[in-house]
């Protein structure tokens, strides 16, 4: 596949991904309809493994396509993380590109529970995928601006309530709740506009992390702190399947959740909020250092490889 011209390779990859999506989504939606029509706990226990298995199969196909269509190297640094397929994790990551999602799915598929993202409510209307995410209990969040809340005060707190409802479902099943803490993809312009104190990252948004920890309490066994680095460029999905991504570096560090944050009230307790934000800022400073270390290690490896393959002068 790698020998095909770029246009043909990208087109073929897109067709295969679309076909795989439809083939997996049809049975997934059929099982989801059974679960909705028969809302009993026993039915849910039967249906949920089928839904998860179909999603993991779809991710597996995508990962094999990446391996078959590209020469991208995935360098995973696992800092003694005890990954469990039946675990309960909060996964925190920096956000560089839409490529982050297939990268994280490739790294964690069938090693931890299915990654579940908090999605914008508008994404429900994406053909096929929106319904599939709904069937898999991905929480859809509607964000309200300050102006909207000022006009309609009853909207205040609805996003928090939706987070709590979603997390109540997650307590009963193995889960990996995924949170891109920066809230948006990194760009140099956003970094400058924020006056971010971090060299490689945007500022972390602590509220969503705090609400998940508060809602799930002891239902979470720990945090998987993931740092994703693209040494060559911040790629698009087109770059990935056009084989323009040489290397992806991923650092996985398992962290305990400080006990003091399990029973706090981020929304109403100012002192608690300040402590939580200080903890998140310290974690992000460490992540920034990890990013720099991965970047330097990748550069050193590339330099060593170049020197080793450089022909000697006669």
What is the full DSSP assignment across 80-125?
A: S----TT-EEEEEE----TTHHHHHHHHHBTTBSPEEE-EEGGGGG
Q: What does the pLDDT look like over 242-253, one tens digit per residue?
A: 999 999 999 999
Are 215 and 163 within 8 A, CB to CB? yes
Burial label, 56 (beta-carbon count in 10 A; 0-12, 13-18, 19+): middle
Highest average pLDDT, of 61-65, 148-152, 265-269, comes from 61-65
Angle formed at CA 117 by CA 253 and CA 237, multiple of 5 degrees: 85
Angle formed at CA 171 by CA 170 and CA 173, multiple of 5 degrees: 65
Tokens at residue 248, please? 């992806």
Please compute the mean of the pLDDT values over residues 54-74 and round it to a whole number.
Answer: 95
Coil, strand or helix: which one is 254?
A: strand
Which sign, positive or negative, has the C-alpha torsion 243, 115, 50, 133?
negative
Q: What is the pLDDT of residue 295?
A: 93
| Cα–Cα dist 155/176, whole Å | 28
Question: CB within 8 A of 222, min separation 6: which ones?
Answer: 89, 90, 254, 255, 256, 257
Q: What is the pLDDT of residue 173?
A: 83
Question: CB within 8 A of 13, min separation 6: which ones?
Answer: 65, 69, 241
Q: What does the pLDDT look like over 67-115, one tens digit per residue?
A: 999 999 999 987 667 899 999 999 999 999 999 999 999 999 999 999 9
pLDDT at residue 121 greater than cutoff 50: yes
Q: What does the pLDDT look like over 201-210, one tens digit per residue?
A: 999 999 889 9
Q: How far is CA 282 from CA 87, 96, 204, 287, 288, in A?
A: 26, 20, 10, 9, 10
| Cα–Cα dist 304/42, whole Å | 57
Are 231 and 73 within 8 A, CB to CB? no
Coil, strand or helix: which one is 89?
A: strand
DSSP state of 219: G
Inter-axis angle of helices 270-309 and 206-216, to 10 degrees? 110
Mean pLDDT of the chain: 87
What is the full DSSP assignment across 271-295?
A: HHHHHHHHHHHHHHHHHHHHHHHHH
Q: What is the pLDDT of residue 218?
A: 80
Burial label, 90 (beta-carbon count in 10 A; 0-12, 13-18, 19+): buried
β-strand pairing of 247-255 with 222-229? antiparallel
Tokens at residue 242, please? 């056009």
Please compute the mean of the pLDDT values over residues 46-58 and round it to a whole number.
Answer: 94
First to last CA, the chain: 38
pLDDT at residue 167 greater than cutoff 90: no
CATH topology of domain 72-309: Glycerol-3-phosphate (1)-acyltransferase (3.40.1130)
Q: What is the pLDDT of residue 164?
A: 75
What percent of the chain stands above pLDDT 90? 58
Q: What is the pLDDT of residue 314?
A: 35
Q: What is the pLDDT of residue 28?
A: 94
């Amino acid at each position: 596949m790698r020998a095909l011209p770029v246009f043909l390779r990208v087109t073929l990859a897109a067709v295969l991904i679309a076909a795989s999506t439809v083939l997996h989504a049809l049975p997934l939606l059929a099982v989801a309809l059974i679960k909705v029509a028969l809302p009993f706990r026993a039915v849910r226990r039967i249906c949920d493994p089928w839904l998860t298995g179909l999603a993991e199969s779809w991710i597996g196909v995508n990962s094999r396509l990446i391996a078959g269509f590209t020469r991208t190297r995935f360098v995973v640094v696992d800092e003694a993380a005890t990954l469990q397929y039946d675990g309960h994790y909060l996964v925190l990551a920096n956000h560089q590109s839409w490529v982050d999602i297939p990268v994280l799915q490739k790294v964690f598929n069938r090693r931890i529970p299915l990654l579940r993202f908090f999605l914008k409510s508008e994404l429900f209307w994406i053909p096929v995928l929106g319904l599939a995410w709904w069937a898999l209990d991905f929480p859809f969040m509607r964000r309200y601006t300050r102006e909207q809340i000022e006009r309609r005060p009853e909207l205040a707190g609805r996003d928090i309530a939706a987070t709590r409802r979603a997390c109540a479902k997650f307590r009963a099943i193995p889960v990996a709740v995924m949170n891109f803490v920066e809230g948006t993809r990194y760009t140099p312009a956003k970094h400058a506009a924020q006056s971010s104190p971090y060299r490689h990252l945007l500022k972390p948004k602590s509220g969503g992390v705090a609400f998940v920890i508060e809602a799930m309490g002891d239902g979470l066994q720990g945090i998987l702190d993931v740092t994703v680095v693209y040494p060559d460029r911040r790629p698009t999905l087109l770059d990935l399947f056009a084989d323009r991504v040489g290397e992806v570096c991923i650092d996985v560090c398992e962290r305990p959740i400080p006990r003091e944050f399990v029973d706090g009230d981020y929304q109403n307790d100012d002192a608690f909020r300040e402590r939580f934000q200080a903890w998140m800022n310290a974690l992000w400073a460490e992540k920034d250092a990890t990013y720099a270390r991965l970047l330097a290690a990748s550069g050193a490896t590339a330099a060593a490889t170049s020197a080793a393959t450089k022909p000697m002068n006669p």
